[in-house]
Amino acid sequence: MEQHNVLIISDNRTDHAVLSACLERAVPRRFTVASHDNLDRPLEALLDANLDAVILAEGPESEYLLRLAQKNQVTAPIILLLDEMTEYTAHRLREIGAQDHLQRGHLQDGLVHRVLDYAIQLKQARLKIEQLSNRDSLTGALNRTGFRAHLERAVERSQRYSFSTALLYINLDRFANINDQYGEVNGDLLIQTLARRLQNKLRNTDSLARLGGDEFAVILEDVASAADVELIVGKMLQSIATPVVLNEHQVSIDCSVGAALFPEDGLEISDLIEASRNAMQQAKAVQGSKFIRYCGQIQFDVSGGTTLAAELRTAARKNQFELHYQPRVDLNTGLLVGLEALLRWNHPERGLVCPGEFIKECEDMGLMKTIGYQVIQHACHALNWLQDKGMQHVDVAVNVSFSQIQDERFVGVVKDILQRTGAEAERLEFELTESTILKSPAAIKTRMDELRLLGISFSLDDFGTGFSQLSHLTELPISALKVDAGFVREVPHNQQQVAVCCMIIEMAQRLGMKVIAEGAETYEQVSFLREQACHQVQGFYYSPAIPLQQLTRFVQEQRFKSRERIPS
């Protein structure tokens, strides 16, 4: 049986004796008790990597220790030992990071064991969620979410210790030809091989991220000069140049690398990303593998259509963005109950482009406010269309970014759109990601309360991929949790994903929230989610995102399946 290390912090020796005896009586024996009477260096004890849980007696130092743990991102759950518990005390303790509490005089063995077991299981689930949400499943490198978090921390360290950090933006040249000629399986093999080669050339302090299909980023911390960056990139290019064997053929591939340095080339995260990407775009204009350092004197043709930035500005100006809608299906009835509005770029040459290829760029360029208001207006028109078609009970969900909701004009503009379109606000749902809320919880709550007065509801998107303060779930006006597709992809065969899914569904049910699972693609996944009493599901099993006009046919098909009892 796995042993869990529990730290007891109390000036009262009786607490140690009672709790130690209680934990020793656990069957099976699974707790190892470590006491810590000297609080001269409490952070050192709390940051012990072998620590699974902390029982902290309330006292003059307890609030200080909780805030210290919160500030330093202590992963071990902290359980307060109290003389008595009031509603005010519970709220205050959750605010400063306590996960649960025990009460003197009520330390029954079963209760103490259950509290610790739950706390430790939740800690393990959080660590697993963080690993899944911040890593690319193909290469093991950071994904976009993990990349931005690491870059933010790297920039903070650069500011604190006055050293430079370099950001490399790497794009593989003509990678689409590899997929076309050798197939996607070999394309994935090539990506994995190149990712390993890049990682092998990095120091322990550096980070590798995969941003998309054939795009990588590298964060180089504490670089002495641009010459050091060029030296590291040179080793990377030399390693990448070695041919890879695909279908018994030796395949060579070139790549374009752009670099920007903090603080020389940008003081903001968005500026640094745009500078490195701009340098990479110029590198792609040169044949063969090449590296270009960003220079402020380099100006791209932003008036033409030769760069992504220029094309996005043109798209926003000419209203080339449109919405497709992915159905959300009630698992009990099999009927349509909601739609998620998903942005598409109707590119004049490439056709429909999915948001993964341009949303981050729009955010970095400050275009999301303009595009976001267009999306809300289109969604309101869609609500009116649904009502005209007899689907007045179908909700429409719109993704809202941090740049949108923190705009002081946001509530006023949304109210104006609702009034002009005559759409029913109660059927409009705003989806917020965990990372958006965490940027400014108090300000976001205020804005959400204002929007709720209009009748708008809220769902938490990508749940489990970054939310660190579970207490926010009880404080924010959130009516639905969306289980991220990454936790659905391999159920019911992957037991870790099964555990995470069940935990999220049960948590939402206990909080009285609706649960919506994303990314369902197979009958097995849908059956599993139905068995777990998940309320709604969306994914390719039912339908991809489709134009509004195609919904009538989808609704008819679902009604037929429901009437004929065809599995759905």
Predicted local confidence at residue 298, as pLDDT: 37
pLDDT (tens place) for every residue of the chain, 568 residues total: 688 989 998 888 899 899 999 999 999 999 988 755 455 667 777 777 788 899 988 887 788 788 778 766 687 889 999 888 777 776 777 777 788 889 898 899 999 999 999 888 887 777 777 666 778 888 888 888 888 888 988 898 888 888 899 999 998 887 777 877 888 888 889 999 999 999 888 877 789 999 887 889 999 988 888 888 888 888 888 888 888 888 888 888 888 899 999 988 888 888 898 888 888 877 776 667 788 887 654 333 333 334 677 788 788 777 788 899 999 999 998 899 999 999 988 888 777 777 877 887 787 677 787 788 889 999 999 999 999 999 989 999 999 987 788 888 899 999 999 999 999 999 999 999 877 887 788 888 999 999 999 999 999 987 766 544 566 677 889 999 999 888 898 899 989 889 989 999 998 898 899 999 998 989 999 999 999 999 999 998 899 899 998 898 888 888 776 665 555 5
Would you tell me how many other CB atoms lie within 10 Å of the CB of residue 133? 21
- Token output for 409: 């004009």
CA distance 506 to 493: 19
Helix (H, G, I), strand (E, B) or coil at 103: strand
DSSP 8-state secondary structure symbol assigned to residue 213: S
CA 374-379-382 angle, to 5 degrees, is 130
CA distance 304 to 39: 64
Residue 31 CA, chain-centre distance (Å), reads 33
Predicted local confidence at residue 305, as pLDDT: 37
CA distance 268 to 462: 26
514 beta partners: 480
CA distance 143 to 133: 8
CA 465-127-446 angle, to 5 degrees, is 40
- Token output for 200: 């092998």
DSSP 8-state secondary structure symbol assigned to residue 135: B
> What DSSP assignment string belongs to 2-21?
--EEEEEE-S-HHHHHHHHH
Predicted local confidence at residue 303, as pLDDT: 37
Predicted local confidence at residue 24, as pLDDT: 92
CA distance 40 to 37: 9
Question: 247-272 in b/e burial notation, b at 16+ Cβ within 10 A?
Answer: eeeebebbbbbbbbbbeebbeebeeb
Q: Amino acid identity of 135?
A: R
Helix (H, G, I), strand (E, B) or coil at 32: strand
- Token output for 441: 């919880």
CA distance 403 to 370: 10
Predicted local confidence at residue 283, as pLDDT: 76
Q: Amino acid identity of 70?
A: Q
Predicted local confidence at residue 130, as pLDDT: 67
Predicted local confidence at residue 312, as pLDDT: 82
Q: Name the nearest CA neighbour of 233 among 210, 213, 215, 255.
A: 255
Q: Which domains are delineated in the chain? A: 4-133 (3.40.50.2300), 144-293 (3.30.70.270), 308-560 (3.20.20.450)
CA distance 63 to 71: 12
Backbone phi, then psi, for 256, in 5-degree steps? Answer: -110, 130
User: Could you report how far apart the first and last alpha carbons of the chain are, in Å?
Assistant: 41
CA distance 55 to 491: 35
